[in-house]
Structure 1
Amino acid sequence: MAEELKEKSYEQPAVEEQVAEEENIPGVVTTTSQEINKFLQKTKAQDFINWGRKNSLWFMAQAMGCCGVEIIVTGMSPMDTDRFGIIPRNSPRQADVMIISGYVTKKYLPALKKLYDQMPSPKWVICMGDCSISGGPFYESYSTVQNIDEIFPVDVFIPGCPPRPEALIQGFLEIQKKIEAREDKGSGYDG
């Protein structure tokens, strides 16, 4: 029994050495997805990728209070956000942008975090309305969350109570400018 254990313990390092030897095969380059991402960020391919990202911003709205009506109007035909590639999605797994509008209660915050975590990267956040930015009339209330920007990496703030649909479209255009200039928080590159 002891001999079998010794044989098994000697077999495992041999397999690890064999894998290490296979990774160092001359003429074959092995890499990781992180290395590929670092390489792409330094090339012109990133500009092409960002062009595609900025022209297909699919948003998921977290509409609380009166800002939700303005989000609905933004998605209707008079505003025609489809021409910018801005399309509403109900699933967090298909959305690029989360719009946090209105007040966020302490009871709703864990669900909001879970939805944000389910979104694929890269992802962006718009904070819309005075309630989500600073608390609005619910400032320092016992049930609302203050300083959303400390919890989520907010790219664009849209002030107003409630902001007009034109302001929301302008917020999307600001995210598009940030993506093109590589200054957004959602893509994960350094500069």
Structure 2
Amino acid sequence: MVSPTPQTSDYAYDSKIEGNVTFTQLDAAINWMRKNSLWPMPMGLACCAIELMGTAASRYDISRFGAEVMRFSPRQADVMIVAGTVTYKMALAVKRVWDQMPEPKWCIAMGACASSGGMYRSYATLQGIDQLIPVDVYISGCPPRPEALLEGLMRLQAKIEKEESVSNLKKSTDQA
């Protein structure tokens, strides 16, 4: 028996690939990938670094947010977590590491000292890391709990989700 010739309407629906096709905007896809694969560069400068380490432990599990790959090489990281007191002596090292990170990059100021100098109003302490590098998310506390860092990470993910990635890519290629 000869089968009838297939028509174009027969190809409009294929049950084999029904769940495998997704339509989205390029910005949404790029931002989804970026927000779910953050690679932090931990700048643990004081007591807040202990809370940062606790966030990576099994109880709080930062890996649920795709940020478990702590990178100690700035060329492999895209989010810097400044945890603790930034002295003027360390400020140049923090700035150098920030400058070595590739674009796009983000910064989280963790704790009162990184955000505003904390209780140290002295000539040796930088009164907030935002005087040196742009900060995307501030986390309050002295020291902040691991839950606060996870909340800050979720806020950063929400910010990344709303960025215009494609237009930023075009601007960076035009400048080069």
In the other structure, the counterpart of 1:142 is 123
C-alpha deviation, 1:189, in angstroms: 9.1
SS at match of 1:138: coil
- Structure 2 CA distance for partners of 1:167 and 1:114, relative to 1, 3 Å: same
Shift of 1:163: 0.3
Cα drift, residue 147 of structure 1 = 3.1
Aligned to 2:3: none
Q: Secondary structure at the match of 1:120?
A: coil
Which of residues 101, 105, 112 is equivalent to 1:123? 105
Structure 2 residue runs of 5 or longer lacking an equivalent are: 1-23, 172-176
Residues 1:177 and 2:161 aligned together:
no
Q: Say whether the 8 Å CA contact 1:59–1:96 is kept in structure 2.
A: yes
Q: Does 1:99 align with 2:81?
A: yes
**What residue is the counterpart of 2:62 in the other structure?**
81
Q: Distance in 1 between matches of 2:83 and 2:143?
A: 9
Which gives a bigger RCO, structure 1 or 2 (Cα 8 Å, sep 6+)?
2
8 Å CA contact retained: 1:156, 1:175: yes
Map Cα deviations across residues 144-182 of structure 1 (whole Å, 9 max, x no partner): 111321321100000000000000011010000011112
**What secondary structure, in the 3-state scheme, does the structure 1 residue paired with 2:158 have?**
helix
The TM-score with structure 1 as length reference comes to: 0.71
Q: How many residues align?
A: 145
Q: Secondary structure at the match of 2:81?
A: strand
Which residue of 1 is the match for residue 149 of structure 2?
Answer: 168
Residue identity (%): 52
SS at match of 2:82: strand
Give yes or no for the alignment of 1:45 onto 2:26.
yes
Q: Deviations over 1:39-58 (max 9, x none)?
A: xxxx9212111100000011
- Letter matched to residue 139 of structure 2: I
Please say if 1:158 is aligned against 2:142: no
Secondary structure of the structure 2 residue equivalent to 1:137: coil
* TM-score normalised over the length of structure 2: 0.77
Q: 1:50 to 1:152 in 2, by over 3 A?
A: same
Q: How far apart in 1 are the matches of 2:136 and 2:51?
A: 19
Structure 2 counterpart of 1:39: none
- AA in 2 matched with 1:53: R
